[in-house]
Chain A
């Protein structure tokens, strides 16, 4: 799964730490999600979307291999 968290963070002028604090997770968790190492729960994805004021679909995009 691809994501645009880094871009959206830049738009909102948020550091990984700043975003992490807003949604009550650790900075390492944001880092792992950004790198695609960890796929967050729907709850966390919705929270991020709320902070960025966009839709979840605008942050995360399915890739071909996700269908396997």
Chain B
């Protein structure tokens, strides 16, 4: 069975290469406010807030993390058969449930500034849970 909507197998290594450095960069940025100075820009035409300095380190980190996870989870395996497709879709459903559950719990129990962290993590936890569960079941089959 032909599977549409998947990346070629050779994209998968790029996913890993992109994911790990981006994730580490993101964590460093979030917790020790690490920034690359050369990514410093001043926004223009920002009429509401006037122009103010911006650093693109967090944008790079999040974009890299998401594209990395997407390539890891949605690239074809060397032998992409129907069982792999079933594991992939099951993992996606499972990850979605887990993510919903955690968001609901955090909404009920996390308040104030900490809720901002919940929103930040929520940007990439769904694909992260998916990739972990997918590879765990691939290894176990």
A1 at interface, CB cutoff 8 A:
no
Q: How far is the CA of A37 from the CA of B77 in the complex (A)?
A: 20
User: Are A29's CB and B83's CB within 8 A?
Assistant: yes
* A43 touching B1 in the complex, CB below 8 Å, given contacts A28-B141, A31-B141, A32-B141: yes
Name the residue of chain A whose CB is nearest to the CB of B83.
Answer: A29
- Residues of chain A lying within 8 A (CB to CB) of residue B82: 25, 29, 40-41, 43-44
Instruction: Select which of A26, A32, A40, A41 is within 8 A of B79 by beta carbon.
Output: A26
Q: How far is the CA of A37 from the CA of B83 in the complex (A)?
A: 10
User: Are A25's CB and B83's CB within 8 A?
Assistant: yes
User: Are A26's CB and B1's CB within 8 A?
Assistant: no
B1 vs chain A, min Cβ distance (A): 7
> Which residues of chain A from 5 to 37 have a CB within 8 Å of any chain B CB?
20, 24-26, 28-29, 31-33, 37
Q: How far is the CA of A44 from the CA of B82 in the complex (A)?
A: 9
User: Are B1's CB and A32's CB within 8 A?
Assistant: no
Q: How far is the CA of A41 from the CA of B3 in the complex (A)?
A: 14
Task: Using CB atoms and an 8 Å cutoff, list the residues of chain B in contact with chain A.
Answer: 1, 77, 79, 81-84, 86, 141
Top 7 A-B residue pairs of the complex, sorted by shortest distance between their CB atoms: A25-B81, A26-B79, A29-B83, A28-B141, A29-B81, A38-B83, A32-B141
Other CB < 8 Å A-B pairs besides A29-B81, A43-B1, 17 of them?
A20-B79, A25-B79, A25-B81, A25-B83, A26-B77, A28-B83, A28-B141, A29-B82, A29-B83, A29-B84, A29-B141, A32-B83, A33-B83, A38-B83, A38-B86, A38-B141, A40-B83
**24 intermolecular pairs with C-beta atoms under 8 Å apart:** A20-B79, A24-B79, A25-B81, A25-B82, A25-B83, A26-B77, A26-B79, A26-B81, A26-B83, A26-B84, A28-B141, A29-B82, A29-B84, A29-B141, A32-B83, A33-B83, A37-B141, A38-B86, A38-B141, A40-B83, A41-B1, A41-B82, A43-B82, A44-B82
